[in-house]
């Protein structure tokens, strides 16, 4: 990763922060962004203390002008862009019947349109470098999850978008990776939106039994090195994707029953 510039969106915590350390320790210059200056500068200080060359920028990926400026600042200050990691994301937890459609729109704007904006404006530089475009998707992008309809929709959209982009770029030397962590210990669930857009502020799952963000980041780093097209993590994730393809009706029941066991789940036990 020496002489490589990596841009990671949503890098103030969780998988994004772990990716910054993983790529930085391999010699990459790391550009990190988030919506809050205080949060992203705190991570930048940690990265610099680890002797990682870091550029920290503020951007809201759901705002096209912010993303365009993010790419321009990266090129202006570092001169190139080799790897784009679309990591910024937000989750939601509520039954569709209770959900304000504006909440789903917000999730789509961040998770999907954020990926569209960043990929579009980074693309000329990625093509020049014959680099990599990475989307941090989810098992929810292969199998719709109840109580997370908007989140699932955003990740299905990301998966289809990246598949189309990969095919468009087939003869350019550009690598496109869709990475699906499965349930990973990350701040995304603590910032999940409720039915009316409020931050729920607590997780419904046992964080201690999940893959850590750092483990997830190492898997993604390895997949970028190997230029894989797809990365599905955790045994549960691989099992879900496989069975959903061949036994979808069974998976409806299994997924329902599994998520009905979550703390305060609105699904009937």
Q: Are 156 and 164 in contact (CB under 8 A)?
A: no
pLDDT of 182 reads 74
Q: Report the DSSP pairing between strands 211-212 and 184-185.
A: parallel
Give residue-wise pLDDT tens across range 158-209: 999 999 999 999 999 999 999 998 766 555 555 788 887 777 765 555 545 6
Task: Indicate whether 257 belongs to any domain.
Answer: no
Nearest CA to 73 out of 53, 56, 61 is that of 56
Q: Are 165 and 119 in contact (CB under 8 A)?
A: yes
For residue 253, give every residue at least 6 positions away whose Cβ sits within 8 Å of its Cβ, in sequence order, or none: none
Mean pLDDT of 2-15: 95
The more confident residue out of 117 and 191 is: 117
Task: Indicate whether 252 belongs to any domain.
Answer: no
Give residue-wise pLDDT tens across range 126-154: 999 999 999 999 999 999 999 999 999 99
Task: Indicate whether 251 belongs to any domain.
Answer: no
Task: Indicate whether 208 belongs to any domain.
Answer: yes
Give the CATH number, domain containing residue 217: 3.40.50.720
Which entry of 117, 121, 142, 151 is annotated as an active-site residue?
Answer: 151
The token pair at 114 is: 């954020």
pLDDT of 15 reads 95
pLDDT of 195 reads 81
Q: pTM score, two decimals?
A: 0.92
Task: Indicate whether 264 belongs to any domain.
Answer: no
Per-residue confidence at 246, pLDDT binned at 50, 70, 90?
Answer: very high
pLDDT of 223 reads 97
pLDDT of 202 reads 57
Question: What is the C-alpha separation between 188 and 156, in angstroms, rounded?
Answer: 18
**Does the annotation mark 142 as catalytic?**
no
Mean pLDDT of 104-110: 97
Helix (H) or strand (E) holding 226: none
Q: Containing domain of residue 74, as a range?
A: 5-235
Task: Indicate whether 99 belongs to any domain.
Answer: yes
Count the domains in the chain: 1
Out of 51-55, 82-86, 154-158, 209-213, least confident range: 209-213
Nearest CA to 60 out of 37, 77, 85 is that of 37
Task: Indicate whether 59 belongs to any domain.
Answer: yes
Task: Indicate whether 190 belongs to any domain.
Answer: yes
For residue 175, give every residue at least 6 positions away whose Cβ sits within 8 Å of its Cβ, in sequence order, or none: 131, 132, 133, 224, 227
Over 80: is that where the pLDDT of 120 sits?
yes
């Amino acid at each position: 990763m020496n002489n490589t510039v990596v841009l990671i969106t949503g890098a103030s915590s969780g998988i994004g922060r772990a990716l910054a350390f993983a790529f930085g320790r391999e010699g990459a210059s790391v550009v990190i962004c988030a919506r809050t200056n205080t949060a992203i500068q705190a991570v930048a200080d940690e990265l610099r203390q680890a002797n990682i060359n870091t550029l920290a920028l503020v951007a809201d990926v759901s705002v096209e002008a912010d993303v365009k400026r993010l790419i321009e600042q990266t090129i202006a200050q570092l001169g190139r862009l080799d790897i784009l990691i679309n990591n910024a994301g937000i989750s939601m937890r509520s039954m569709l019947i209770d959900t304000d459609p504006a909440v789903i729109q917000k999730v789509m704007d961040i998770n999907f349109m954020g990926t569209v904006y960043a990929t579009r404006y980074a693309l000329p530089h990625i093509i020049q470098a014959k680099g990599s475009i990475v989307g941090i998707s989810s098992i929810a992008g292969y199998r719709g999850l109840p109580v997370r309809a908007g989140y699932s929709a955003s990740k299905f959209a990301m998966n289809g978008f990246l598949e189309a982009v990969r095919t468009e770029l087939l003869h350019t030397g550009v690598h496109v990776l869709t990475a699906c962590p499965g349930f990973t210990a990350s701040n995304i669930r603590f910032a999940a939106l409720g039915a009316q857009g409020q931050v729920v502020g607590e997780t419904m799952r046992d964080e201690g039994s999940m893959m850590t963000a750092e483990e997830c980041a190492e898997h993604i780093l390895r997949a970028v090195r190997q230029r894989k097209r797809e990365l599905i993590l955790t045994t549960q994730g691989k099992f879900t994707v496989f069975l959903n393809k061949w036994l979808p009706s069974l998976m409806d029941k299994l997924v329902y029953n599994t998520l009905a066991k979550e703390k305060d789940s609105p699904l009937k036990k």
